[in-house]
């Protein structure tokens, strides 16, 4: 059934967008770092997953247990070494945004260069759970369903943590108003660093999940950064719920256009939706930060 | 409770605060009066360390030298600032705003009890806990801001023009609440344009002009001082059409 095919495919694709964008919205919306190397971190995680599966014969889900924390730690290190000096000298959030674009642009080339040296330019993939599953007459590979399920669990978990815990509320407070956040005793730089690291962890998780069913190569990071940024801005910068909804929406729209019109038009559909959302709601679907 | 001395602040070449010293005791309301641009906001910001002060200052809170502490650690020491323009988290709910007030470790254990006390102080907030703070009226937002500051269980509360933009009725309510805050033992340092109301409630007052303290004394005495009445209470000088003061 075509409709069900589109809905299933769209949700799975959108689930990946939503997860990947939620990491970027934490980095951009809370830490105010526009991380141009975001997609490279995702690709690095995909390669790490590839190595674990092919060389060590581990399941990628098991790899997730290592790669997600590794993404967190690596991002935390990047924040401390590369970005804290920029945070210290930035007079305004806007200045930090510009500085961080330049710094992470450099980082992009370092990570991408390393990936090219180690893996060359060719495409990689591995086979994991590529058995078809039939849902109400529609067939989907099991690996995609699993990736969607894991993404959903992570997204719901991180949303609940942001809404329900003290640290989560502090993260949202920093996203909304860092000057006021310090007046309630929040160490803004520490919370921003934590949010940046958390975003890196989610990004790495996204890389592992995507590697379960997509072919990827060392040059693909930029595509993920761009898509994630589109979703983040559509949802409202710093707004987790916005990133999740906008991610799912983009997945559904892209899949519909690919299936009903022409696969060559998906990128046009992406930017068509992007423009439409921004024309109607310039601050994104859910406005600025907060929820 | 709070002792400040030798506090100076410059914005570039402009000297906004010059060697200011002042003190606030426990259960005392101290008001700072001064014209627009006199440096009142700068003074509160410098005490809370959200604007860099010049070296040589000394800020002692509860007997501890806290001059070098960054703003977020001062909150941990018991200093809470309600800034000019309130500084609430507009996108968050009233409840989230209040609970964020209890973010400092000093406030966490007593969080539930403090929340109850704050809601008793500002009963209107209890019906509004789920409301997005930005959608509240100005007066209600000011209550959220003060409530949030009280949630940190402060020993000294700094307030920058809390009655700005409030109706006379609402300001009356607000000043009454400040009186009750004092009864709990908190020291209040209040910056106000509304000299009449603030002198009526305050214990002591400082007068500030172009960054310097030019007068101080018990509020009751300043209320009757002819120069103060001319400058801050809008009374015409005898024989002069325009108020003028040195
Ligand atoms: N960030 C800044 N940069 C440069 N000058 C500043 C800055 N903040 C304040 N000033 C100047 O310092 C002086 C004192 O300002 P401040 O805001 O402390 O006054 P105020 O007494 O609070 O006035 P008001 O009653 O209008 O709030 C003013 O001349 C003001 O122009
Ligand atoms: Mg002021």
What's the average model confidence in pLDDT over A97-111? 93
A199: CATH: 1.10.3470
Token couple for B102: 């209890």
A56, part of any domain: yes
* B148: nearest CB among A176, A184, A289: A184
Does residue B246 carry a pLDDT above 50?
no
A158-162, B114-118, B196-200: the lowest-pLDDT one: B196-200
pLDDT band at residue B238 using 50, 70 and 90 as cut-offs: low
- Which run of H or E residues covers position B6? strand B2-11
Beta-sheet pairing, B204-209 with B156-160? unpaired
What's the average model confidence in pLDDT over B109-135? 95
pTM listed for this prediction:
0.91
Does residue B202 carry a pLDDT above 90?
yes
- pLDDT (tens digit per residue) in B151-190: 999 999 999 999 998 999 999 999 999 999 999 999 999 9
pLDDT band at residue B237 using 50, 70 and 90 as cut-offs: low
Q: How far is A276 from B204, CA to CA, in rounded Å?
A: 59
Q: Range of A13's domain?
A: 2-280
A288, part of any domain: no
A291, part of any domain: no
B123, part of any domain: no
Contacts of B115 in chain A (CB under 8 A): none
Q: How far is A223 from B144, CA to CA, in rounded Å?
A: 44
B195, part of any domain: yes
Tell me if A87 sits within 8 A of A161, measured CB to CB: no
Does residue B243 carry a pLDDT above 70?
no
Does residue A137 carry a pLDDT above 90?
no
Task: Please name the residue whose Cα sits nearest to atom 6 of ligand 1.
Answer: B11
Structure ipTM:
0.89
B17 CA distance to ligand 2 centroid (A)?
13
Helix, strand counts (H, E) of chain B: 11, 10
A79, part of any domain: yes
- pLDDT (tens digit per residue) in A209-255: 999 999 999 999 999 999 999 999 999 998 999 999 999 999 999 99
A285, part of any domain: no
Residues in chain A: 291
B163: CATH: 3.40.50.300
Residue with tokens 């921003």: A192
Give how many domains chain A has, as a whole number.
1
Q: Give the mutation candidate from B66, B91, B153, B156 for the A interface (greatest A CB count, under 10 A).
A: B91
Task: Judge if the beta carbon of residue B37 lies within 6 A of ligand 1.
Answer: yes
Provide, rounded to the nearest whole percent, the portion of chain A with pLDDT above 70.
99
Does residue A115 carry a pLDDT above 50?
yes
Beta bridge partners of B212: B209
Minimal-distance CA residue of chain B relative to A164:
B96
B104, part of any domain: no
Give how many domains chain B has, as a whole number.
1
* pLDDT for res B224: 86
Does residue B233 carry a pLDDT above 80?
no
Q: Which ligand is nearest to the CA of B36?
A: 1
A117, part of any domain: yes
- pLDDT (tens digit per residue) in A138-194: 888 999 999 999 999 999 999 999 999 999 999 999 999 999 999 999 999 999 999
* pLDDT for res A288: 60
Does residue B234 carry a pLDDT above 80?
no
Q: Range of B208's domain?
A: 2-84+155-232
Beta strands in A110-227 (DSSP E): 132-135, 138-141
SS3 string, B134-183, reads: HHCCHHHHHHHHHHHHHHCCCCEEEEECCCCCCCHHHHHHHHHHHHHHHH
Residue among A212, A250, A206, A244 at smallest CA distance from A38: A206
């Amino acid at each position: 059934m075509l409709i069900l095919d589109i809905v299933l495919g769209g949700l799975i694709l959108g689930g990946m967008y939503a997860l990947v964008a939620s990491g970027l919205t934490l980095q951009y919306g809370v830490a105010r770092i526009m991380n141009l190397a975001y997609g490279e971190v995702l690709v690095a995680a995909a390669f790490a997953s590839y190595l674990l599966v092919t060389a060590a014969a581990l399941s990628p889900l098991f790899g997730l247990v290592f790669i997600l924390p590794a993404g967190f730690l690596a991002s935390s290190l990047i924040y401390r070494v590369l970005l804290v000096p920029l945070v210290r000298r930035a007079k305004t959030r806007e200045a930090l945004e510009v500085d961080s674009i330049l710094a992470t642009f450099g980082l992009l080339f370092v990570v991408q260069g390393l990936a090219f040296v180690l893996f060359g330019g060719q495409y990689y993939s591995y086979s994991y759970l590529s058995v078809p599953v039939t849902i109400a007459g529609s067939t989907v590979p099991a690996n995609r369903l699993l990736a969607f399920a894991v993404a959903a669990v992570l997204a719901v978990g991180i949303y609940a943590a942001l809404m329900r815990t003290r640290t989560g509320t502090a993260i949202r407070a920093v996203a909304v108003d860092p000057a006021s956040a310090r007046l309630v005793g929040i160490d803004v730089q520490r919370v921003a660093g934590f949010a940046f690291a958390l975003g890196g962890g989610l990004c790495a998780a996204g890389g592992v999940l995507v590697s379960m069913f997509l072919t990827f190569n060392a040059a693909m990071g930029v595509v993920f950064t761009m898509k994630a940024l589109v979703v983040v801005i559509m949802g409202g910068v710093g707004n987790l719920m916005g990133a999740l909804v906008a991610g799912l929406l983009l997945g559904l729209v892209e899949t519909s256009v690919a299936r009903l019109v022409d696969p060559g038009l998906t990128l046009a559909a992406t930017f068509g939706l992007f423009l439409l959302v921004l024309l109607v709601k310039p601050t994104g679907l859910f406005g600025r930060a907060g929820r | 409770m709070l002792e400040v001395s030798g506090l100076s602040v410059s914005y570039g070449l402009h000297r906004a605060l010059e060697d200011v010293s002042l003190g606030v005791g426990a259960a005392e309301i101290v008001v700072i009066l001064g014209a627009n641009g006199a440096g009142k906001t700068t003074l509160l910001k410098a005490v809370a360390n959200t604007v860099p002060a010049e070296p040589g200052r000394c800020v002692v809170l509860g007997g501890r030298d806290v001059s070098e502490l960054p703003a977020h650690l001062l909150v941990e020491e018991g200093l809470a600032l309600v800034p000019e323009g309130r500084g609430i988290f507009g996108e968050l709910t009233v409840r989230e705003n209040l609970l964020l007030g209890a973010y400092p470790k000093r406030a966490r254990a007593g969080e539930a009890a403090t929340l109850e006390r704050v809601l008793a102080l500002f009963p209107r907030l209890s019906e509004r806990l789920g409301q997005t703070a930005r959608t509240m009226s100005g007066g209600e937002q000011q209550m959220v801001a003060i409530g949030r500051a009280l949630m940190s269980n402060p020993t000294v509360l700094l307030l920058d023009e809390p009655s700005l933009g409030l109706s006379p009725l609402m300001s009356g309510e607000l000043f009454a609440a400040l009186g009750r805050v004092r009864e709990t033992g908190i020291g209040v340092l209040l910056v106000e344009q509304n000299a009449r109301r603030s002198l009526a409630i305050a214990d002591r007052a400082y007068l500030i002009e172009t960054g310097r303290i030019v007068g101080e004394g018990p509020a009751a005495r300043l209320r009757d001082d002819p120069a103060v009445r001319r400058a801050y209470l809008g009374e015409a000088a005898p024989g002069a059409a325009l108020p003028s003061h040195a």
